[in-house]
Structure 1
Amino acid sequence: MSKVISFATQKGGSGKSTLALVLAAPLATEYGLRIAVLDCDYQQSIVKTREQVDAANFAKLREANPDAQYPYDVYPWQLSRIFDFIDNPEHTYDLIIIDVPGRADGDDVFNALTACDAVIVPLVSDYLDRASTAEFMTILEAIKKAADDAQIDFQYYGLPTKRVAGQREEKEMDEYIDGLGLSRFNSYLGHRKAYTRASTLYSLLNPAWARYAGGTKDTSDEIRRVCEELIERLGLPDRRATAATSVSTVSSSAK
C-alpha cells in the first residue's frame, strides 16, 4: 500500500514545492521508489517545471533513447479528488506526494492533510515565518491526537530549509520548535541556489545536473541525509542496489 505525504504550510514562499522537487527525483532514481506527485497548489509549480523547463531536455533524451521516461509521475490534481487517486487500486506507487496550497483554512486542505501518513512542514528561521509555522504545526498536532485516538497512523515533521550555518536564528528555531514539543527532522537543507534549479527529470544527485545547477558535495550530502531519514521514518523500501543498475526509473503507471 502506498505511503502518502504532503509538503505543507500555511505561509507562501517557504519552499514547500521546491522541497518536493528536490526530494522526489533522488528518491526515485537513487533509492528506487515508485513515486507520484499530485500538484494541488494553485500555482502548479511542479507541473510547470515539467512542462516548461524539463520538456526540451526530455525530448532530447527521447531522441537518443525512445524508451526514456521521467523518473516519477506528476499529475495536476484537485484537492477535492485526493481520495480518488489514493484509493485507486490500480496504482502501485511506493510514495504519493501531495503539494497542497499554502494555507490552512478550508475543508479541502484539512481533508488532504488527514489523508496523509505524514505531513512535512518546511521550517524557515525568519521570525515572522517561525510563528506562522509553529501555529500550523500545532494544528497538525491536534490532527495527530485525534488520529491516535482513532488508532490511525499520522505523523508530522518540521524539516529545516533555507538553513544558513552558524546563524543565531537557526538555533532559535530549533529551540522554539523543541520547546513546543513539536516533531522535526534531524537533517536539513541549506540555503543553496542549486535547490531553486531542481528538476522533475534530473536528480541533484546526478553529478552532471548538480554541476549545472551549482551544486556541491555538501548539496548531495544534505539531500541524501534527508532522503534516508524520510525513508526510515516512513518505513519506505530502499532499493538502492536496484536503482543503481537502472538507466532510469519508470513508475508502474507511466508505461
Structure 2
Amino acid sequence: MSKVISFATQKGGSGKSTLALVLAAPLATEYGLKIAILDCDYQQSIVKTRKQLDEPSLAILQETDPDATYPYDVFPMALKSIFDFIDNPENDYDLIIIDIPGRADGEDVFNALTGCDAVIVPLVSDYLDRASTAEFMGILEALKKAADKADVDFQYFGLATKRIAGRREEKEMDDYIDELGLSRFQSYLSHRLAYTRASTLHSLLTPAFRNFAGGTKDSSEEIRRVCDELIEKLDLPRRKADEVAAELEESSDTITSSDTITSSETK
C-alpha cells in the first residue's frame, strides 16, 4: 500500500514545492522508489517545471536513448480528487507526495491532510514564518488526536529549509519548535541556489546535474541525509544509497550541460 505524505504549511513561499522537487528525483533514481507527485497547488509549480523546463531536455535525451523517461510521475489535480487517486489499487506507488496549496486554511485542505500518513512542515526561521507555523500546528494537532482516537497512523514533522548556519534566527527557531513539542527531522536543507534549480528529470545527487545547478558535494550530502531520514521515518523500501552514490561519482561525465540539461539554463 502506498505511503502518502504532503509538504504543507500555513504560509506561502516557505519552499514546500521546492522541497518536493529536491527530494522526489533522488528518491526515485538513487533509492529506487516508485513515486507520484499530485500537484494540487494553485500555482502548479511542479507541473510547470516539467512542462516548460524539463520537457525539452527529455526530448534531447530521447534522440540518443528512445527509452529515456521521467524518473517519477506528476499529476495536476484538484484536492477533491486525491482520494480517488490514493484509493485506486492500480496506482501501486511506494510514495505519493501531495503538494498542498500555499495556505492551509480551507476545509478542502484539511480533508486532504487527513489522507496523509505524514505531513512535513517546512521550517523557515523568519519571524512571520514561525508565527504561521504555530497556527498550522493547531490543525495538525487536531488531526493527530483524531487519528489516535481512530487508531489510524498519522505523523507530522518539521523540516528546516533555507537554513543559514550561525544565524541567530535559526537558534530561535530551534527553541521555538522545542517549545511547541513538534517532532522534527534532524537533517535539514540549507539556503542554496541549487535547490531552486531542482528538476523533475534530473536528480541533484547526479554529479553532472548537481554541478550544473551550482550544487556541491555538501548539498548532495544534505539531500541524502534528508532522504535517509524520510525513508526511516516512513519505513519505505530503499536501495543502498552509498553504492548508488559511488556509481554516480564514477559516471559524472555522462550528462553534459550542452546536450541534456539545456532546459535548466532558464531557471
1:106 aligns with 2:143: no
**CA-based RMSD:** 1.5
Runs of 4+ in 1 over 3 A off after TM superposition: 243-247
Q: How far 1:7 sits from its partner (Å)? A: 0.5
Q: SS of 1:116's equivalent? A: coil
Matches within 5 A, 1:107-186: 107-186=107-186
After TM superposition, the score normalised by the length of structure 2 is: 0.90
Q: How far 1:26 sits from its partner (Å)? A: 0.3
Q: For residues 233 and 137 of structure 1, what CA distance do their matches in structure 2 show?
A: 19
Unaligned stretches of 5+ in structure 1?
248-255
Q: How far 1:220 sits from its partner (Å)? A: 0.4
Q: For residues 160 and 182 of structure 2, what CA distance do their matches in structure 1 show?
A: 13
Residue by residue over 1:146-190, the C-alpha shift from the partner in whole angstroms, topping out at 9 and shown as x without a partner, is 100110000000100000001111011011011111111110000
The residue type paired with residue 117 of structure 1 is D
What is the match of residue 77 of structure 2? 77
Q: SS of 1:174's equivalent? A: helix
What is the match of residue 252 of structure 1? none
Q: For residues 83 and 240 of structure 1, what CA distance do their matches in structure 2 show?
A: 32
Q: For residues 176 and 183 of structure 1, what CA distance do their matches in structure 2 show?
A: 12
What is the match of residue 31 of structure 2? 31
Q: How far 1:240 sits from its partner (Å)? A: 3.4
Q: For residues 197 and 162 of structure 2, what CA distance do their matches in structure 1 show?
A: 14
What is the match of residue 221 of structure 2? 221
Q: For residues 138 and 228 of structure 2, what CA distance do their matches in structure 1 show?
A: 26
Q: For residues 23 and 210 of structure 1, what CA distance do their matches in structure 2 show?
A: 13
Matches within 5 A, 1:88-99: 88-99=88-99
Q: For residues 213 and 230 of structure 2, what CA distance do their matches in structure 1 show?
A: 24
What is the match of residue 188 of structure 2? 188
Q: SS of 1:226's equivalent? A: helix
Change (3 A) 1:240 1:32: farther
Higher relative contact order (CA 8 A, sep 6+): 1
Matches within 5 A, 1:232-247: 232-240=232-240, 244=244
How many residues are matched? 246
What is the match of residue 66 of structure 1? 66
Unaligned stretches of 5+ in structure 2?
252-267
Q: SS of 1:120's equivalent? A: strand
Identical-residue share of aligned pairs (%): 78
Q: Is the 8 A contact 1:32 1:240 kept in 2?
A: no
After TM superposition, the score normalised by the length of structure 1 is: 0.94
The residue type paired with residue 18 of structure 1 is T
Q: Is the 8 A contact 1:141 1:182 kept in 2?
A: no
Q: How far 1:50 sits from its partner (Å)? A: 0.2
What is the match of residue 260 of structure 2? none
Q: SS of 1:152's equivalent? A: coil
